[in-house]
Amino acid sequence: MNEAAMTLEGWYALHDFRTINWPAWKAADEEVRAFALDELNAFLQEWDAIEAAKQGSTAVYTIVGQKADFVFMHLRETLEDLNAIENAFNKTTFAQFTTKAYSYVSIVELSNYLAGSSDEDPMQNPHVIARLKPALPKSKHICFYPMNKKRDLSDNWYMLSMDDRKSMMKSHGMIGRGYAGKVKQIITGSVGLDDWEWGVTLFSDEALQFKKLVYEMRFDEVSARFGEFGPFYVGNLLDQASFTDLMKV
């Protein structure tokens, strides 16, 4: 019997990781660099305006370590919107000084594991809509990683009964609740969209809380038995001023 959890979907998500070509940037004429930064700032302003109009949301962070130098995380209504943003950005002079490091395509997802029984249409509930189409937090730090739930013969998440999955997700949710006010999670589903099953994006003003939360969850059955994890990306908030500062040669 098909016991797929019911999912609700909101905005599509694109995590666009880039590396800065520092030798090319430093070798460029000052006017070219100034023009490129103006273009970047124009995009940042445009994305702010889209967020203010509640038509999407964008978060911009540096990435610490060598996997990338920064990430644009965009949430938009359609895949076409996301495609248009990346193509418009790729055509800028600023983008000529970056290389693509990694990307992830997914969609904001909520499941019904912990939902109570009610006849209400969740898509009419403003709290649900606010979670499906969120303004991304502008916390000091971001942590992103993709993950799967195991499909091994002995440990296959997709062959468990709904009741078993519900009880494990309850325990997962309880651990998460212990981080209320410290870590905000945005879970994006990516089955059929990208190489892993979910993108996990965490936001916090204290980077250490990422370690505390992820470590604690490792002892919880749903992560301990079924979690498979991709690469972790962690970084610091960027705005127009700090991005301009970062690009100073």
Binding site for ligand VOV (CB under 6 A): 5, 110-111, 113-114, 147, 149, 169, 172-173, 176-177, 179, 183, 185, 187, 198, 200, 213-214, 217, 223, 227
Residue indicated by tokens 């193509």? 87
- Indicate the DSSP class of residue 149: E
From the CA atom positions of the chain, what is the Rg in Å? 19
- Indicate the DSSP class of residue 134: P
Kindly name the residue from 61, 145, 179, 233 that is annotated as catalytic. Answer: 145
| 80: nearest Cα among 11, 134, 7, 8 | 11
In the bound state, the residue with its beta carbon closest to ligand VOV is 176
Establish whether 112 is an annotated binding residue. Answer: no
Whichever of 8 and 44 has its CB closer to ligand VOV, that residue is: 8
Whichever of 50 and 214 has its CB closer to ligand VOV, that residue is: 214
Residue 89 Cβ vs ligand VOV, minimum distance, rounded to whole Å: 28
| 134: nearest Cα among 188, 236, 46, 56 | 56
Whichever of 56 and 199 has its CB closer to ligand VOV, that residue is: 199
Residue 218 Cβ vs ligand VOV, minimum distance, rounded to whole Å: 6
Establish whether 215 is an annotated binding residue. Answer: no
Whichever of 105 and 214 has its CB closer to ligand VOV, that residue is: 214
Residue indicated by tokens 């990422």? 210
Largest CA distance in the chain: 65
Establish whether 185 is an annotated binding residue. Answer: yes
Establish whether 223 is an annotated binding residue. Answer: yes
Establish whether 145 is an annotated binding residue. Answer: yes
Catalytic: 158? no
- Residue 127 CB contacts under 8 Å (≥ 6 apart), including other chains: none
Q: What DSSP string runs through 109-165?
A: EEESTTPPP-SS-GGG-HHHHHHHSPPPP--SEEEEEEEEE-B-SSSBGGGS-HHHH
Residue indicated by tokens 């969209």? 193
Residue list for the binding site for Fe-coproporphyrin III: 131, 145-149, 172, 185, 223
Residue list for the binding site: 131, 145-149, 172, 185, 223
| Catalytically active residues, by annotation | 145
